[in-house]
Amino acid sequence: MLAFIEAVIRSTLDFAPPIILAALGGVISERSGVVALGLEGMMRLGAFFAAVGALATGNAWAGLSLGILAGGIAALGHAWLSIRWRSDQIISGVAINLVAMAGVTFLVEAMYGNTDTAGSATIGRVSLAFLKDIPILGTLCGHTWLTWIALAIPVAMHVLFYRTSLGLRILAVGEKPAAAATLGVSVSAIRYGCVIASGLLAGMGGSALSIATLDRFSNHMPAGQGFIALAAVIFGKWTPLGACSAALFFAAANALRIGLESSLPSLHNVLPSGIMLALPYVLTLLVLAGFIGRSRSPAASGVPFDTEKR
């Protein structure tokens, strides 16, 4: 039983970084007042360009940089449409998802003649050998640097939001932008910065899929994880630590599915494989159904700010 628990924890820490990073991107964007519906597309772009960069240079960190940049550029387009032109933020986010889905499919087939890329360099792992033989704590060994980065960023973002003047400005812009503007805060600048930051984080999350979880880009990536990240934002009540906890919960659901399938192969004789594959998504729906009524999004989320009407 202990071995099963340890396997689930280890798998959770392996699967969680993409969801955590994308969810944090959603938190910072929505806290500033811009809906982050394009996380799925930004993750897909990050995953593809990270693999391209790693293949071209032979260096996973170079690939990670390119993947992060790709997510940031997509977010810049979203910010430009949503803030400069006050476009419908839902439509803009959906457009990013659709363009990323079709565009990346075209690029991967045109560049590599396949729906997947070849194997590439991957992010190194942290051994922590001194914990290896300790029960439970031994599960912390052997994870990539992105796992630890993903666990550190929520703490840093929590400090940013609630212990710095910049964080308080972000929160004010997401709740009452007109009041913030009267105090001299540039609503547009804050929102641009936060939306671009959300793309950088989502791009990093997508990159984790192709150069950490796997060693290549696969055309099914990110397989709905951007939408699960958005659910984690809601479940976590638009807070960094809450979103991180929710992302860990959803990653644990996926790890539990894999653990059950590997330890109980006869389970397929009772339940169709499709039901097991749907387990993380079913849990997402159940959690949202139970918690969505108790959460309140930032008051100005999705509402364009017009300086002439304040």
Give the tens place of pLDDT for each residue, 244-300: 999 998 898 888 877 776 766 666 666 666 677 777 777 777 776 776 556 788 999
At 187-203, the pLDDT tens digits run 999 999 999 999 999 99
What's phi and psi for 223, nearest 5 deg? 60, 45
| pLDDT greater than 70 at residue 206 | yes
What's the pLDDT score for residue 264?
67
Q: How does residue 310 score in pLDDT terms, banded at 50, 70 and 90? A: low
H/E segment holding residue 126: strand 125-126
Per the domain annotation, does 258 fall within a domain?
no
Q: How far apart are CA 37 and CA 35, in angstroms?
A: 6
Per the domain annotation, does 291 fall within a domain?
no
Name beta bridge partners: 143.
Answer: 126
Q: Retrieve residue 42's tokens.
A: 């930004």
State the Cα angle at 52 between 47 and 56, rounded to 5°.
150
Q: How far apart are CA 212 and CA 205, in angstroms?
A: 10
The dihedral through the CA atoms of 171, 174, 175, 179 has a sign that is positive
Rounded average pLDDT over 80-87: 93
Per the domain annotation, does 263 fall within a domain?
no
How do 143-144 and 125-126 pair as beta strands?
A: antiparallel
Per the domain annotation, does 233 fall within a domain?
no
Per the domain annotation, does 163 fall within a domain?
yes
Per the domain annotation, does 238 fall within a domain?
no
Per the domain annotation, does 65 fall within a domain?
yes
| In contact, 42 and 75? CB cutoff 8 Å | yes
Q: Which domain holds residue 165?
A: 17-223+298-309
H/E segment holding residue 143: strand 143-144
What's the domain count of the chain?
Answer: 1
Between 100 and 307, the more confident residue is: 100
At 136-192, the pLDDT tens digits run 888 888 899 999 999 999 999 999 999 999 999 999 999 999 999 999 999 999 999
Per the domain annotation, does 232 fall within a domain?
no
**Percentage, residues of the chain above pLDDT 70:** 91
**297 SS3 class:** coil
| In contact, 208 and 51? CB cutoff 8 Å | no
What's phi and psi for 127, nearest 5 deg? -75, -45
Q: How far apart are CA 267 and CA 258, in angstroms?
A: 12
CA 302 to chain CA centroid, Å, is: 19
